Amino acid sequence: MSTELAIETTGLVKVFGENRAVDGIDLAVPTGTVYGVLGPNGAGKTTAVRMLATLLRPDGGTARVFGKDVVKDADAVRSRVSLTGQYASVDEDLTGSENLILLGRLLGHSKPAARDRADQLLDGFGLSDAAGRQVKNYSGGMRRRIDIAASILNTPDVLFLDEPTTGLDPRSRNQVWDIVRAVVAHGTTVLLTTQYLDEADQLASRIAVIDHGRVIAEGTKGELKASVGAGTVHVRLREAGQRAEAQKVLALALNTDVQTEADPVALTARMEGQSSDRGAAEQAGRALAELARCGITVDNFSLGQPSLDEVFLALTDKKGVAA
């Protein structure tokens, strides 16, 4: 047998009226990893996750969690998964500690065991000081942390995190990221939805980009980045007056379109080919020499791997053209 998949879907569909919110999604999520599902508002992320977590019945296709069908074997699936929703589920009027103890009791733990586990999680999530405070008085970041704590009371085999950091400040996002890393280190498979490319970049080993209910790209971060070309050249000139000429020189030397940016001294060009190509660096070097030869002063010149942002824009552009 090949490596066991934690999640596998084929042709998964959910229709709301006329709207094919999830329109034939195939996913294969390896066990023990963070899998990123990346997509804009309305792409179908929450709908897909809700089907996988057995909260919503698919209209077509199949979805399995550790080989168990989410419809036919929903109980078996439920016993192994946990969901931290985009809109959370803890009780606002209870304190952090009360919420966790209550959930622990509902999961069948004895009172002392529930209390111990609650303390342990509150401590691990930096919420000990806020343990006695009502959740409605928590900040957004604290709120997100208590939500995740609640969803891992019983260490699940698969944890669905639906946009766990939307609306959080950078420090709180980092705390949530650390929590996700810790959860995965314990052996849980995490399926994380996000609108943030840097979040997927930080956490996920594989990423599916979804748009309009379909997977438009899938792979490792490196594969996705490589799929949009060898890299991007960023140039900053000393003088804005030389930009038009520099644009022509670069376009010729790099044999690609060169874009001007809002910054009057900046130019960028996306290079064709694969990022494994040595050629890209050599060609960029020649382009730089050519600028110097033409008497154009360059303050800054860099060749970078495309960012996931560029990948995303390139992918959604392509789709726009095809549509």
Query: Do the beta carbons of residue 63 and residue 106 sit within 8 Å?
Result: no
State the binding partner of 97 from ligand ATP, Mg ion, none, CB within 5 to 8 A by kind: none
How many other C-beta atoms are found inside a 10 Å radius of the C-beta of residue 229? 22
Q: Is 46 in the site for Mg ion (CB under 5 A)?
A: yes
State the binding partner of 44 from Mg ion, ligand ATP, none, CB within 5 to 8 A by kind: ligand ATP
Q: Is 44 in the site for ligand ATP (CB under 6 A)?
A: yes
Query: Using a CB cutoff of 8 Å and minimum separation of 24, what contacts does 316-321 make?
Result: 316/40, 316/211, 316/216, 319/211, 319/212, 319/216
Helix (H, G, I), strand (E, B) or coil at 173: helix
Residues 73-112 that bind ligand ATP (CB under 6 A): 86
**Smallest separation (angstroms) from Mg ion to the CB of 276:** 35
For residue 241, the 8-state DSSP code is G
Q: Is 42 in the site for ligand ATP (CB under 6 A)?
A: yes
C-alpha–C-alpha distance, residues 44 and 37, integer Å: 10
C-alpha–C-alpha distance, residues 108 and 96, integer Å: 19
Q: Is 39 in the site for ligand ATP (CB under 6 A)?
A: yes
State the binding partner of 39 from Mg ion, ligand ATP, none, CB within 5 to 8 A by kind: ligand ATP
Q: Are strands 34-38 and 206-211 parallel, antiparallel or unpaired?
A: parallel
Name the residue with the smallest CB distance to Mg ion.
Answer: 46
Please pick, from the candidates 45, 117, 173, 243, the single residue that binds ligand ATP as defined by CB under 6 A: 45
Size of the site for ligand ATP (CB under 6 A): 13
Q: Quick one: which segment of 35-43, 61-69, 279-287, 291-299 binds ligand ATP (CB under 6 A)?
A: 35-43
Q: Which residues pair with 270 in a beta bridge?
A: 232
Query: Do the beta carbons of residue 301 and residue 281 sit within 8 Å?
Result: no
**Smallest separation (angstroms) from ligand ATP to the CB of 55:** 11
Helix (H, G, I), strand (E, B) or coil at 259: strand
How many other C-beta atoms are found inside a 10 Å radius of the C-beta of residue 28? 15
Residues 188-217 that bind ligand ATP (CB under 6 A): 195
Give the footprint of ligand ATP on this chain (CB under 6 A).
16, 19, 21, 39, 41-47, 86, 195
